[in-house]
Amino acid sequence: MDSGIFSYLISGVVVIAVVSVLVLFMGRKKNSSSEKRSSKNQSQIIRDANRKLAKNPHDPAGLIPLGDIYFANKLWDKAYPVYDELSKLSMDNPSIDVLTSWLRLGICAVMLKKNPEGIAALTSAYKIDPHGFEVNYYLGKACFDSEQYEKAIPCFKKAIVARPEAEGVYLLLGQSMYKSHKFRDSLPCFRKALDEDPSNKEALFDMADAMTEEGHGEKAIKVFMHLRPDPVYGARSCLAAGLFHSKTGDLESAIQDYEIGLKHESAPVQTKLEISYNLARCYFGVSNIAKGVALLKSIRNINENYKDVNALITRYQELSQNKNLQIYLSSNSSDFVTLCRKFIAKKYSGSSVKIQSIDVDQLFTDILAEIYTPKWEDVVLFRFFRTSSVTGEMYVRDFHGHMQDVKAARGFCISAGTFTAEAHKYTEGRPLDLIEKNDLSKVLKQISI
């Protein structure tokens, strides 16, 4: 290339670069000047408005420009009293835009968490413009923040119709439906919200919880497992995952969920208590009584009346001292039946016992036995209730009827809890006895497994 031409091109580039810098500098200077002028203009408008209001505090010529500036700059606390005054004056003054006054008053109220005032102002604006986006969005927001979720739903629906491209509305609509227990209806809204923002953990958690409520726990569990480490939604996700795994009988996975949940130190106290309570019950389910009792005691230190913690502590402390009582209440069916057979043998030690039948029901287990002694022989029916609560007369009546069906001469109802006074009264004059927790425990302590 000719050196002259090359020099010419270089000079051209330099000139262009210099011009570009000058244009950029002038543009910045112009923008800076424009901002200063705007700031100066706003200051002048505020001074002029205040001069008018000093003469007449209700002068729209002073209130309107002042409100415009405060509202545009999001000075909600300053804009609120201005539009409060304008909305009152608008009824008798045609120079004041009624819709703008009520709408902006409502928006300021919502932003200032004055929800009752916001609902009142936006309701007035809604009567003038029932299809506008801002009216419906902010009225829905005020209702949502006031936990009036049913009222918020139609507002957010109309806001979406008015401005389908607006972001964040689907999330609020989904949450309003979710909190109104319209779980199925909320799911499409949460999916739309996640299309707008795939990183929205709030929408993700609420959608998974709604899926659980709709019986799609196997789909929701994947989301909860994904959210377990999250600092905001992690603890609640661990609780939800633990409840799902507990329900499906996977106690080891539930324990892992709950233990991870307790590592979230910033979780709300109520969430931690619920996780601890459910974790303790899982520990009992895998026969780790010591850990379960320790956890319940830590709950009691925070809230001594939390659910049935005190009763569970008493129950499982006793179980830890009586291995057979522990088997009676919480072991598998096979070990339980073996223990019941040994109970019968211990009760009639020195006699010959022949088991005729064993019937395992969800609430109790019936064992029919022939008892032979040197002096007598009888058919005896035993009904073992696997409960530590109170058993009523109805169950005892049912047992007596079954005795007659199997032609048992005598019967025993055994429970790790107690029987009602009516149940005891029913046994009077009948060949059946009630064995409650204290007497059961005495026999169980004599049995070796």
Reported as a single tens digit per residue, the pLDDT across 155-172 is 999 999 999 999 999 999
Of residues 115 and 19, the one with the higher pLDDT is 115
Whether pLDDT at 18 is above 70: no
The answer to whether 62 and 70 are in contact (CB under 8 A) is: no
Whether pLDDT at 40 is above 60: no
What's the pLDDT at 449? Answer: 67
Distance CA 378, CA 449 (A): 27
Mean pLDDT for the stretch of residues 3-10: 33
Whether pLDDT at 32 is above 60: no
Reported as a single tens digit per residue, the pLDDT across 378-424 is 999 999 999 888 999 999 999 999 999 999 999 999 999 999 999 99
Whether pLDDT at 13 is above 80: no
Distance CA 238, CA 264 (A): 10
Reported as a single tens digit per residue, the pLDDT across 316-335 is 887 777 788 888 887 889 99
Whether pLDDT at 104 is above 80: yes
As a whole number, the mean pLDDT across the chain is: 89
Whether pLDDT at 301 is above 50: yes
Beta-carbon contacts of 137 under 8 Å, excluding residues fewer than 6 positions away, are 155, 156, 159, 166, 169
Of residues 173 and 376, the one with the higher pLDDT is 173
Whether pLDDT at 230 is above 70: yes
194: pLDDT confidence band, cut at 50, 70 and 90?
very high
Nearest CA among 130, 183, 173 for reference residue 151: 173
Hey, is 62 helix, strand or coil?
helix
What's the pLDDT at 215? Answer: 92
Q: Which H or E run includes 346? A: helix 333-347
Whether pLDDT at 296 is above 70: yes
What's the pLDDT at 126? Answer: 97
What is the radius of gyration, based on Cα positions, of the chain? 38
| DSSP label at residue 131 | T
Of residues 6 and 93, the one with the higher pLDDT is 93
Nearest CA among 40, 76, 82, 26 for reference residue 57: 82
What's the pLDDT at 8? Answer: 30
Nearest CA among 218, 286, 287 for reference residue 252: 286
21: pLDDT confidence band, cut at 50, 70 and 90?
very low
Distance CA 363, CA 358 (A): 14
Q: Residue 398 carries which side chain, given as an amino acid letter?
A: D
What is the bridge-based pairing of β-strands 432-435 and 377-385?
A: unpaired
What is the bridge-based pairing of β-strands 432-435 and 410-415?
A: parallel
Reported as a single tens digit per residue, the pLDDT across 50-84 is 888 888 888 888 899 999 999 999 999 999 999 99
- The number of beta carbons lying within 10 Å of the beta carbon of residue 28 is 10
